[in-house]
Structure formats: structure tokens, C-alpha cells
Amino acid sequence: MDIGSLLLILALLIPVVLFIARPFIEQRATAVSAEEHDYSALLAERDRILDALQELDFDHTLGKIPDSDYEAQRTRLMRAGADILRQIDEYEGRTAEETPANDRLEAAVAERKAAAEPARADDELEALIAARRRTKITSGKAKGAGFCPQCGSPVYEGDRFCPKCGHAVE
């Protein structure tokens, strides 16, 4: 190797080593206070509860959850969400009289539903299929036409695809 190659390697190696060693040299970490950590945890819990409420409402519209269970679970989630919103209000310095926590929680759930509507077009189709299947079964019009050759689940008359795996049955 000649001297030019060594200088070129050295010129590339020094910046790489400095870049890699920079975090060790600076040893500066961003410290988060306990109050900021608690506030962040409250915001995360609020988002979790809003997601749970949205999923609960959707499952209820599909008929997966009976009315009695739905009311109990929704009431429990609404209470937990209202408590979280009150704690967030304390951190932000708002008073409870400005807007009740339950109203703000309902507004947040409605806002999330509205934002998710374009993405839930398949969910609406799924709800229509579930409703049609329920009316067929309850009216007695659902006659078994056999079983799916792919997965073995029951297939009804008029079904062109298996309701479980989607395999064509005609």
C-alpha cells in the first residue's frame, strides 16, 4: 500500500469513529420528569379506552355482544375514561365546569368513528352479511346445502363462497 491509500483510509475512518463515539462522548440524556411521565401515561390510557369503546360499539353493531353485556362494559369504560379525563384536566389546569368529562369522552368517540368511517367500508359490508345470515337463520329459510370442500364448515343454499374460508362452493 502506498501512502495515499493509507491517508484516504484514515480520512474515512476518523469521521466514522467520531460519529459512532459521539453518544458516548456527549453523555447527555434527556431526562423526563415524573409529572411528564404521568401525563404521558394518562394520554396513552385515554387513547386505549377510546379504542376499546370504538371496538365495543362496532362489535355490538355486528351482533357479537348481547345488549346486557354491552351496556355493562360500555358503562365501565365510560367511567374509567371520565376518570382519566378528569386527571388530564388537573394536569392541564382546566376546571370541571368547562365541559363535563362524559360529554368530552362521547365527542372523542364520535370523532374517532367519523375518522374511521372511510377505512371501515369492509366492516359495513361485514355487518350487512352478518345481518342477512341472522335473518336467514331466525326465519328458518337457511337450508343446509352441504359442507365446504376446503375447510368443512357448513354452507347454506345461495352461498357462493364459504363463510369461513372464502373458497368457492359452486
* Residue-range domain boundaries for the chain: 34-120
CA 130, CA 63: separation in Å to the nearest integer?
A: 8
Q: Which of 79-88, 100-109, 151-160 has the highest mean pLDDT?
A: 79-88
Task: Round the average pLDDT of the chain to a whole number and report it.
Answer: 81
pLDDT one-digit tens code per residue, 61-73: 888 888 889 999 9
Q: Is the pLDDT of residue 131 over 70?
A: yes
pLDDT one-digit tens code per residue, 135-145: 766 655 556 67
Q: Is the pLDDT of residue 10 over 60?
A: yes
pLDDT of residue 99: 63
pLDDT of residue 63: 84
Q: Specify the length of the chain in residues.
A: 170
Q: Is the pLDDT of residue 120 over 60?
A: no
pLDDT, mean of residues 142-152 = 76
pTM above threshold 0.75: no
> Binning pLDDT at 50, 70 and 90, where does residue 30 land?
low
Phi, psi of 38 (to 5 degrees): -65, -40
3-class SS of residue 154? strand
Count of C-beta atoms within a 10 Å radius of residue 165: 12
Taking the CA atoms of the chain, what radius of gyration do you get in angstroms?
A: 29
Percentage of the chain surpassing pLDDT 70? 81
